[in-house]
Amino acid sequence: LLSGAHIPLSGRNPMLQEALGIRPHVLVLNKTDLADPCRQPVSAGAGLARGRAVVTALLCVSLQIVPLVAKLVGNSPRYHRAESTEYSILVIGVPNVGKSSLINSLRRLHLKKGKATTVGGEPGITKAVLTRIQVCEKPLMYLVDTPGVLPPKLGDMETGMKLALCGAIRDHLVGEDIMADYLLYALNQRQQFGYVQRYGLAEACDDIEPVLKHVALTQGRTQKVKVLTGTGNVNMTMLNYPAAAYKFLRDFRAGHLGRVTLD
């Protein structure tokens, strides 16, 4: 259980809390295996009208979430006014945080059935609110998958960059080169220098160009281009800096640059 003071801010929609009101809800923090262990949320007292579960893997989520949701909904006065005893739950969050993966995990664990909703490693896979998906028999529980939602206006530029680095915003909307530059700044600021060894740099660097150069060299990110000369066109092999920036971002998201918490 978490206290509000320890919940990361960049991924929280400030309008969502107001919309939820006192409705019982469960906050799942995913991918904590990629977070800095020294900066992860710590245990604290429970809220009066909300349940918040922190997990380290989807399997752990799946084991906890059904009894927790059943308890929260069962204690709600609105539930006792309904004739139906089934549970209908909306899954909501920023893009690309694993909402569909969570639903599929619950189905596999409790119903022994395959995935019911498409998943992917980029935002925008779920494009519409889906019909109810059964994830448990006892108690009878349905989940509704939704497209990722973000506030209509982000509070500041740095919040937007953090969300982009985590894959909540499509890379091309921000620019891989800009994101790579901010990522290097963020890593250096937190003294996370795993990129130095991974890409064969002599030391930490605050200039993105030499970093991308080493990424391109060590990862084989090159491209063939035609150069017009006095004797005609000549094919040359050059370093592909956009591909290197994309690889830099992918390595960060996969945890290859160390366990980093941006908030």
- Residue 33, pLDDT > 80, answer no
Domain that holds residue 29: 2-145
Question: Is 237 annotated as a binding-site member?
Answer: no
> For 42, what's the count of Cα atoms within 13 Å in the CB-facing half-sphere?
3
Nearest alpha-carbon partner for 159 in 94, 100, 211: 94
> In the prediction, which pLDDT does 180 show?
95
CA distance 126 to 226: 40
Q: Of 18-27, 39-48, 60-69, 235-244, where does mean pLDDT reach its minimum?
A: 39-48
Question: Is 30 annotated as a binding-site member?
Answer: yes
Question: Is 235 annotated as a binding-site member?
Answer: no
Q: Which CATH number characterizes residue 82's domain?
A: 3.40.50.300
Question: Is 104 annotated as a binding-site member?
Answer: no
Residues 128 and 29 both lie in one domain: yes
Q: At what angle do helices 241-253 and 157-165 cross, to 10 degrees?
A: 80
Residues 16 and 138 both lie in one domain: yes
> In the prediction, which pLDDT does 88 show?
77
Domain final residue pick, 103, 128, 145: 145
Q: Of 38-47, 107-116, 176-185, 220-229, where does mean pLDDT reach its minimum?
A: 38-47
Q: Is residue 263 part of a domain?
A: no
Question: Is 33 annotated as a binding-site member?
Answer: yes
Give the range with max mean pLDDT: 58-62, 115-119, 149-153: 149-153
- Residue 55, pLDDT > 50, answer no
Q: Is residue 137 part of a domain?
A: yes
pTM over 0.75: no
Residues 103 and 6 both lie in one domain: yes
Residues 131 and 185 both lie in one domain: no
Question: Is 119 annotated as a binding-site member?
Answer: no
* DSSP for residue 45: P
Question: Is 32 annotated as a binding-site member?
Answer: yes
Question: Is 97 annotated as a binding-site member?
Answer: yes
Q: Of 2-11, 180-189, 193-202, where does mean pLDDT reach its minimum?
A: 2-11
Q: Is residue 262 part of a domain?
A: no
Question: Is 100 annotated as a binding-site member?
Answer: yes
Question: Do 45 and 1 contact (CB within 8 A), yes or no?
Answer: yes
CA distance 39 to 15: 25
Residues 220 and 129 both lie in one domain: no
Q: Is residue 97 part of a domain?
A: yes
Q: Is residue 28 part of a domain?
A: yes
- Residue 196, pLDDT > 90, answer yes
Report residue 50's pLDDT band, with 50, 70 and 90 as the boundaries: very low
Q: Is residue 209 part of a domain?
A: yes
Q: Is residue 151 part of a domain?
A: no
* Structural domain count, the chain: 2
Residues 222 and 99 both lie in one domain: no
